[in-house]
Amino acid sequence: MASPGGQGGVLSTRGGGATRRMKWALELSLGNTRGRGDRQGGQGDVVYPIGFSEKPVPDTSIQETDKNLVEKRCWDVALGPLKQIPMNLFIMYMSGNTISIFPIMMVCMMAWRPIQALMSMSATFKLLESSSQQWLQGLVYLVGNLLGSALAIYKCQSMGLLPTHSSDWLAFIEPPQRMEIMGGGMVL
Amino acid sequence: MAKLILLLLKCILLCGTVYAVFEDQVGKFDWRQQYVGKVRFCHFDAHMQSSKKVLLATESNVFAALNTRTGEVLWRHVDKTGPEGNIDAFLQNGQDAVLVVGNGRFLRSWETNIGGLNWEAVLDSGSFQSACLIGQQGTVKNVAVLKKTAISLHYLSNGHQKWIENLPDSDTVDYQTVYSGGNSEVYVLGVVPHSHIAIVAFSGDDGEILQQSSVEAPWLSSIPESCQMVDQDLLICVDSTTMSLYTLDLKLQLQLNQIPLQSLELEVDPDFRPSLVSHQPNPAKQPRSEFFLQLAPDHYVLLQFNNGQLVVLRDFKPALLVSFATTGEKTVAAVMSPKNKTASSINLFNAETGRRLLDTTLIFTMDPNGGKPEKLNVQAFLKKDDSVGYRVMVQTKDHTLTFLQQPGRVLWTREEALSDVLTMEMVDLPLTGTQAELEGEFGKKTAIQDGLMSMVFKRLSSQLILLQAWVAHLWKLFYDARKPRSQVKNDISMENLSRDEFNLQKMMVMVTASGKLFGIDSKTGGILWKHYLENIPSNAAFKLMVQRTTAHFPHPPQCTLLIKDKDTGLASLHVFNPIYGKMSHVSPPALPQPILQSLMLPFMDQDYAKVLLLIDDQYKVSAFPSTKYVLQQLQEMASSIFFFLVDSNQGRLSGYRLRTDLSTEQIWEVALPTETQKIVSVKGKKPNEHVHSQGRVMGDRSVLYKYLNPNLLAVVTESTDLHQERSFVGIILIDGVTGRIIHEAVQRKARGPVHVVHSENWVVYEYWSTKSRRNEFSVIELYEGMELYNSTAFSSLDRPLVPQVLQQSYIFPSSISTMEATLTEKGITSRHLLIGLPSGGILSLPKMFLDPRRPEMASEQSREENLIPYAPELMIRTEWFVNYNQTVSRVRGIYTAPSGLESTCLVVAYGLDIYHTRVYPSKQFDVLKDDYDYMLISSVLLALFFATMISKRLAEVKLLNRAWR
């Protein structure tokens, strides 16, 4: 009993302990020898039936509660951009309208994130595929991102970064062509 | 609080506008040349044998000393311009130089070593006639000044008046000369024209009249012109009508002794007025008994008065100029005689015997582009073997001073014509041969027909030439680097003239009043070519125009100078190459009619020369060049060519339009009553001016568009009534095409001289306010408003809207001599006003300070616009002086030219001196700083590069290791 045991059949013919108990033994399940050997300490000589696996097999049956969870998760994804808006508003308020490196970085980030999100719209849709309200969620996501970029544009506008005034196009006005040639002066 | 903010704002603003140069930049981008003007009196400093000075008193009212070894100005005193500072007489005694200045108003004594003033005496008013030094027992102690009605004697040591005496019968006798023979008696000679000579002898000690007499001389009209003093108190005169010499002993005063020239076997050239040249080496002694008699323009005779007998010592024919010189006890006569067409020789002759001194020949080579010699100034000195050596300073008609020594080596020349520059232009230098080669390759249209192979060869060959030039350049750099810096000279000669990378080096073409043209390299100030135009009338008007620039290789650049004689009205054209100064092979048209004005058209003929229109007094137009092509073009364009003429005398402004047959029709006329006001100047815009921005951005980010009328003229008038309560200055902005008056402003209780700058959409003018007794600046700006009427084309004939006019005035703490605005290539750089001050400074005043939109109270919007709140005083900040301590005397004009760099504007200030520099109105935003640390930047870059390489390698190794694990 106290013998190390648990060896494979080939080994057990050579093992001293086994020879001490019986002349020979046949084990049908090679795969379970180790398991049996492990269990020997606790349960004694329990031989698992053939085909028994100690690993639990996952339960693949769909449950109602999981479905709810998926829905929730999808809504989280879809509402993400919208939830960021109050935060962005706060940052906007805090950063002020002066043009310096930090407000510019903020604005860039604020503008870049929705654009990035809109660019990877298809990936997001794949994510939302499992949801039953896929289209609604997609729309909400889109609207949220659009709102985010609108906010960024508004911020740009209030910082005066948008070329909306006539002065922004002043440098592109060509000097008018001269229609008359004129010269002269004091009588020499 | 608001004030504090304001102060802060001002501080920030002013910190941003510092334009001083660093100490090591002095003379790097700028140079100055000092001149003295046309020489009137010249004395060599002879009190010391080893003296290296020549003292000059000039017609520009300058008294100066030049170093005779180098020709540099040792010291210089610039007096007032005009008759107030006119130098009437220059007498030299030892170390002292005595000047009579301002028509006998001042008597000044200068110490000649360092140019310090010994003393100055203010004399009584009265028209100055003559001055002389009075010697007594071998020393000179007094100076006599003769005026129209009185004679006064002053001590040489302190200028105090010894005595003053009224002259007898001064209302009828015209006293002209004062003379002293070294024996304390002072003779005053006067003449009653065509009647008699009056002689008054004063005692030098107390002014007592010793003797008074008159001698019949009905042929005499002016003593200084026809008489001289020789020998012992002997007056000798020459008369061309009687062909005789007259002598008069002042002591005996019996009568004039007539000596017919025929008795001396001499003959006067017909139509020539003979003259005399005598010499008094020491004022304490009697004059020499030898004198020159000029009988013809090239005929002199050396005569001697020996024991009452006239002896002809030597006849000089041909002889151009003669002069006496004394050193020690020896007196010599120098005679310049023509040798051939381009050279003349100068020889010394013993004055007593008339014998030629051996080995004293000096060859003076005349500059083919210079004038004829006019005056000879001889500096004689004793050599070690007691023979006489000499150097000579030749004055020529083109105001050049040439200092020569034997046997004809030119020690230095000074171009004093440059002290009187009238107008100038800056012309781009041509491309180098290699650059031109490349240009030629791509410029020719025929190249395409040459075929592929030849094109390839051409390409390869031009690349090869470029490579060669580059290697040569590298080699030169390497070669120069080994030499000490002081030896590396950037010699600019005609051969290596070429445009630099940023077009900072240009050719300055200068036109001077004497009629001499100069081509000056703007980098070094060296004169590269000169050309003397002979027979230029003294009151000629010049107009210099660049017809073809250097951009049209292989056509040479071409400048045209219009010279107009103001008396006859007739004009002539001088066409030349501005880079080499040569006359162009293009023959200018003959202009039989008086010319009123000229007009340069912006279009070119088939040889890329801009067309010049000349308007004659019949208001007919002639074109130059006038090829068939040009005439055809003119016919097509005629309806859009307008010109205006301003007649200041008649107070008339009139506009004309060109007809297709090259006649004109008057389309408008504005008459200003000449009784009340006079047109003093008319300023249009510069044709080469670019305006980058068509408007100004307001605080609320809208645009206020500028009124950029290229045809706008600023006409300045001054009142004829100069009473301080009634005088005024008027400014009229008038469209030169339609004659429409855009704006009119009158500054009451103001007086000229008015200086105007007209550029972009603004006019700045400066005047003297008689009410507040101060100088004031006023600025007018014109705006179209918030919308452009027509953004694509500007036609004066289609402008229904009147522009908005804004105006503001400021107080300026100094009077000014001249004013000009900076000019840059594209007009992006902010503008500055360059103001020449009478003190010799050139001030660069930002236009920002002269802005009529400066608000009285700073608001959010005005701060946004960077407008400085209005302050009536304009400051002169010392860091605004672009010429630091390089004083430019009597600035008459400032010329600005754009360079290839947008930030940089080239400036030339001319007057008595010439100064050239570069200015950076918005600082050098397009150039790395002089002290830019290339080493640091490149080493950091290299280090970063290697660090990246190494870390990349390390990262790779690490990744590999991790993959193995």
Largest CA distance in chain B: 138
pLDDT tens digits, B152-192: 999 999 989 999 988 888 888 888 999 888 777 888 989 88
Residues of A in contact with B736 (CB under 8 A): 182, 184
pLDDT tens digits, B785-812: 888 888 888 888 888 889 999 999 999 9
Cα dihedral value B178, B181, B182, B187, nearest 10: -40
Q: Name beta bridge partners: B623.
A: B613
Angle, nearest 10°, between helix axes A134-159 and A101-119?
Answer: 150
Where would I find the H helices in B252-349?
Answer: none
Is the pLDDT at B8 greater than 70, yes or no?
no
Q: Which of A159, A161, A179 to mutate to test the interface with B (most CBs of B within 10 A)?
A: A179
**CA B104/CA B81 separation, integer angstroms:** 15
- A44 φψ region: left (φ > 0), alpha (ψ -120 to 50), beta (else): left
The residues, any chain, with a CB within 8 Å of residue B840's CB and separated by 6 or more, are B883, B887, B888, B889, B891
Token output for B625: 């060049």
Q: What percent of chain B has pLDDT over 70?
A: 94
Is the pLDDT at B450 greater than 70, yes or no?
no
For tokens 């042929």, what's the residue? B219
Angle, nearest 10°, between helix axes A64-95 and A101-119?
Answer: 150
**CA B284/CA B76 separation, integer angstroms:** 29
Burial profile B44-54: b = 16 or more Cβ within 10 angstroms, e = fewer: bbbeeeebebb
The DSSP line for B478-496 is HHHHHS-GGG------STT
B860 or B21: which carries more pLDDT confidence?
B860
pLDDT of residue B438: 66
Answer whether A174 sits within 8 Å of B736, measured CB to CB: no
pLDDT tens digits, B628-655: 898 998 898 888 999 999 999 999 999 9
Is the pLDDT at B201 greater than 60, yes or no?
yes
Answer whether B797 sits within 8 Å of A186, measured CB to CB: no
pLDDT tens digits, B738-747: 999 999 999 9
pLDDT of residue B823: 93
Answer whether B694 sits within 8 Å of A175, measured CB to CB: yes
Residues of A in contact with B679 (CB under 8 A): 186
Answer whether B640 sits within 8 Å of A181, measured CB to CB: yes
pLDDT tens digits, B120-143: 999 988 889 999 888 877 788 889
- CB-closest option in B595, B640, B690 to A180: B640
pLDDT of residue A3: 43
Interface of B with A in 555-614 (CB under 8 A): 562, 564, 566, 571, 595-597, 599-602, 613
Burial profile B78-88: b = 16 or more Cβ within 10 angstroms, e = fewer: bbeeeeebbbb
N residues, chain A? 188
**CA B488/CA B482 separation, integer angstroms:** 10
The amino acid at residue B692 is: H
Number of H helices, E strands in chain B: 7, 63
For tokens 């804004």, what's the residue? B806
Q: Is B896 within 8 Å of B819 (Cβ atoms)?
A: no
pLDDT band per the 50, 70, 90 thresholds, residue B532: very high
Range scoring the smallest mean pLDDT among A56-65, B453-462, B483-492 = B483-492
Long-range contacts of B414-417 (CB under 8 A, 24+ apart): B414/B35, B414/B36, B414/B66, B414/B71, B415/B35, B415/B516, B415/B518, B415/B527, B415/B530, B416/B35, B416/B36, B416/B37, B416/B38, B416/B39, B416/B58, B417/B512, B417/B513, B417/B514, B417/B516, B417/B518
Is the pLDDT at B146 greater than 80, yes or no?
yes
A5 or B562: which carries more pLDDT confidence?
B562
pLDDT of residue A11: 43
Answer whether A179 sits within 8 Å of B640, measured CB to CB: yes
Nearest-CA distance B793 → chain A (Å): 4
Q: Is B114 within 8 Å of B89 (Cβ atoms)?
A: no
Is the pLDDT at B57 greater than 90, yes or no?
yes
Angle, nearest 10°, between helix axes B433-443 and B452-482?
Answer: 160
**CA B415/CA B527 separation, integer angstroms:** 9
pLDDT of residue B715: 94
Mean pLDDT on B319-325? 90
For tokens 């600025």, what's the residue? B779
pLDDT of residue A36: 46
Mean pLDDT on B92-99? 89
Q: Is B818 within 8 Å of B892 (Cβ atoms)?
A: yes
Where would I find the H helices in B125-263?
Answer: 223-226
B886 or A6: which carries more pLDDT confidence?
B886
Highest-confidence range of A142-146, B219-223, B657-661, B842-846, by mean pLDDT?
B842-846
Where would I find the H helices in B382-451?
Answer: 433-443
Nearest-CA distance B15 → chain A (Å): 21
Report residue B605 CA to chain centroid gap: 34
* Burial class, A50, CB count within 10 angstroms (exposed 0-12 / middle 13-18 / buried 19+): exposed
Answer whether A183 sits within 8 Å of B599, measured CB to CB: yes
CA atoms within 13 Å, Cβ hemisphere of B355: 5
Neighbours of B874 (CB within 10 A): 18
Mean pLDDT on B684-708? 90
Q: How far, in Å, are B455, B479, B692, B803 from residue B712 at the CA level?
A: 50, 55, 18, 12
The residues, any chain, with a CB within 8 Å of residue B538's CB and separated by 6 or more, are B513
The residues, any chain, with a CB within 8 Å of residue B957's CB and separated by 6 or more, are none
First-to-last alpha carbon distance for chain A, in angstroms, is 136
B691 or B479: which carries more pLDDT confidence?
B691
**CA B349/CA B314 separation, integer angstroms:** 10
pLDDT of residue B327: 84
Q: Hey, which bits of B625-676 come out as E strands?
A: 641-647, 652-658, 664-671
pLDDT of residue B946: 97
pLDDT tens digits, B257-299: 888 888 888 888 888 888 898 888 888 788 888 899 998 888 9
pLDDT of residue B155: 92
**CA B645/CA A185 separation, integer angstroms:** 5
Q: Name beta bridge partners: B507.
A: B427, B521
pLDDT of residue B903: 92
Where would I find the H helices in B199-351?
Answer: 223-226
Look at residue B62 and give its three-state secondary structure.
Answer: strand
Residues of A in contact with B543 (CB under 8 A): 188
**CA B251/CA B540 separation, integer angstroms:** 49
With CA atoms as reference, report the closest residue to B367 among B224, B191, B516: B516
Interface of B with A in 697-716 (CB under 8 A): 697-698, 701-703, 708, 710-711
pLDDT along chain A (188 residues), means of 10: 42 48 70 48 63 74 73 84 88 84 86 87 82 82 89 87 86 88 88
Range scoring the smallest mean pLDDT among B34-43, B110-119, B427-436, B859-868 = B427-436
Q: Is B815 within 8 Å of B766 (Cβ atoms)?
A: no
The DSSP line for B750-808 is EEEEEEEEEETTEEEEEEEETTTTEEEEEEEEEEEESS-S-SSEE-TTS--SPPEEEEE
Nearest-CA distance B603 → chain A (Å): 10
pLDDT band per the 50, 70, 90 thresholds, residue B14: very low
Mean pLDDT on B694-716? 91
pLDDT band per the 50, 70, 90 thresholds, residue B493: low
Quick one: which H or E segment has residue A39?
Answer: helix A33-43
Q: Is B753 within 8 Å of B745 (Cβ atoms)?
A: no
Q: How far, in Å, are B72, B456, B909 from residue B462 at the CA level?
A: 46, 10, 41
Angle, nearest 10°, between helix axes A134-159 and A64-95?
Answer: 10
Q: Name beta bridge partners: B161.
A: B154
Neighbours of B221 (CB within 10 A): 14
**CA A61/CA A71 separation, integer angstroms:** 18
Cα dihedral value A26, A28, A34, A40, nearest 10: -60
- State pTM to two decimals: 0.84
First-to-last alpha carbon distance for chain B, in angstroms, is 70
